[in-house]
Amino acid sequence: MKRVLLLPLLALLSLQPAHATPSDDISMYAVSLVGSPYRLGGTSPQTGLDCSGFVGHVFKQTTGILLPRDSRTISEAAQPLDQTELQPGDLVFFNTLNRSYSHVGIYLGDDRFVHAASSRTGGVMVSNLGDRYWRQRFDGARRVISSSPARPLDVPYE
């Protein structure tokens, strides 16, 4: 992704209301990781992230919520919602490996989402839900809701 495109996105996200919400924190931190390297199984921006490691890292750092380690289990732990209900900080899921919920990203608003793409396409990047590739593979949206931050959601870790 070109840095020129990242600057307007950061500027838009920085125009937060005086009372920032957790979803603002999630979006801002997630975008700050754009350019971090991809690594299968990775959970650290310094050494590399895969998609679920990226989402888990962002939620742990911004909300204290510990998410399951794989995208399918994250989808099962979060609340389903219609695509029309998406808000910044919600999760978007895709079928990228010929299996449902095999890829996850964080919704930013205006049909954009941030995710750790494969090593073939780079690291953490912003993409558009309207792009043909993502539109054809969209599996659904979810919202992470936890009554007790800083605690894991009640699902088994794999």
Which of the residues are catalytic?
Answer: 51, 103, 115
The answer to whether 116 and 39 have CB atoms below 8 angstroms apart is no
Strands (E), 83-153: 91-94, 103-109, 112-116, 124-128, 138-143
In the chain, what are the helix, strand and coil shares in percent, each to the nearest 5? 35, 25, 45
- Between CA 24 and CA 44 the distance in angstroms is 21
Name every residue whose Cβ is closer than 8 Å to that of residue 107 and which is 6 or more positions away in sequence.
Answer: 86, 87, 88, 89, 90, 91, 92, 113, 141
The pair of structure tokens assigned to 111 is 């049909």
